[in-house]
Structure 1
């Protein structure tokens, strides 16, 4: 796969289907100097789903549903990258530091595709879940067995680096397969309406913005730590993406 093809695939699916050949030809003809503008153009279009064409009914809602859950998975990875702290908790015993979860979870519920309530549909959903999640669940089980054995605590040097890399690869693999499962479910499920999707994106964005502000405020009050600042920046960028897409979708709908 050459660079032009890879950069073209960064655009929303409907844009790739409608204008992918033109974008690929232009990037190939312009060379490396066009790469930054191509990346910016792809990012801008993801933030403005109201501008996407539709090559089939419900395509925008289907893609946004998967993208929303991908954003949620990215949030989980960002939070897991930081050391556990009392700044951003997910514990009923610490309600003040867990408030950011409320709009986030509400957004996930609003965006969830609902499978048809029939025996055949539920059997198909179960089979798809087993096929999609069998490998990541197996990898997670192996990871947990290694952790419980205490072996990881005695690793040093290259072995420790391999173990840490494997850990993050497994988490990334789990996040990817969960998004694949949502994509497969969305093919036959009842998709959320455009209004629900825009509301879900705005709620998730609000939750992430609250988490970023909460984390940044705690960092400012104490000695700033690069890891905490990086986490706040990542959460802020994810919040901006969700709010921008949700606002654009709501504007185009009205």
Structure 2
């Protein structure tokens, strides 16, 4: 009987794991998101170190993980000779659906004024850390992105006497100013990690009441503080099954197993 129970509970756990779904967003090729104000440089401004290749969004149970493949991983603080303080990692923005401006595949006129209205943001504790750290999850309640975010102009002041080029008008950080009443801390925190030249990964365990668990799709935006490359897009997420259907399925399996044992004994 103990073996039978182990089998049943193992099957339930397997089914729960199978309910998870992962989706990918590519930032390469003809459909790569560029965004507005590339100043003629196209997808990436400032060389290959800023290049973003793609993102993978995974939701398993109530754990949400977003991994961004980018050459910029491990290079926060670079170009300090051009931009005061150097370039750091931007915050990450989420919404249920992606509504970019413009019908062209690269959305070359899309910015934080005319594109997707972001609903949540990961605000990093230290955007210049190359070892990772923690972030806070904020809900963005303003009717426009301008009410919720700081754009790239807020982070890029050229070193005196030096000209610098960056992508203007892009959502870069959550505006967590005490005077901003449109942004609300959800009480949830997560962690982020860096693998140099390869990946930046964000992981958060969501409260059971979080809207992010109810979303059937998830859109995202991320870029460096200069937004020299930006990734945006949407993935489809399978709705998470409730505990009751899984428990019910387990009881059915247990009943079937008992019936087989009775017939075998007879």
Q: Please indicate, yes or no, whether the TM-score normalized by the shorter chain is above 0.5.
A: no
Q: Which TM-score tier does this pair reach, normalised by the shorter chain?
A: under 0.3
Instruction: Determine which structure has the larger strand proportion and give its number.
Output: 2
Q: Which has the larger radius of gyration?
A: 2
- Between Structure 1 and Structure 2, which shows a larger proportion of helix residues? 1
Q: Report the TM-score, using the length of structure 2 for normalisation.
A: 0.24
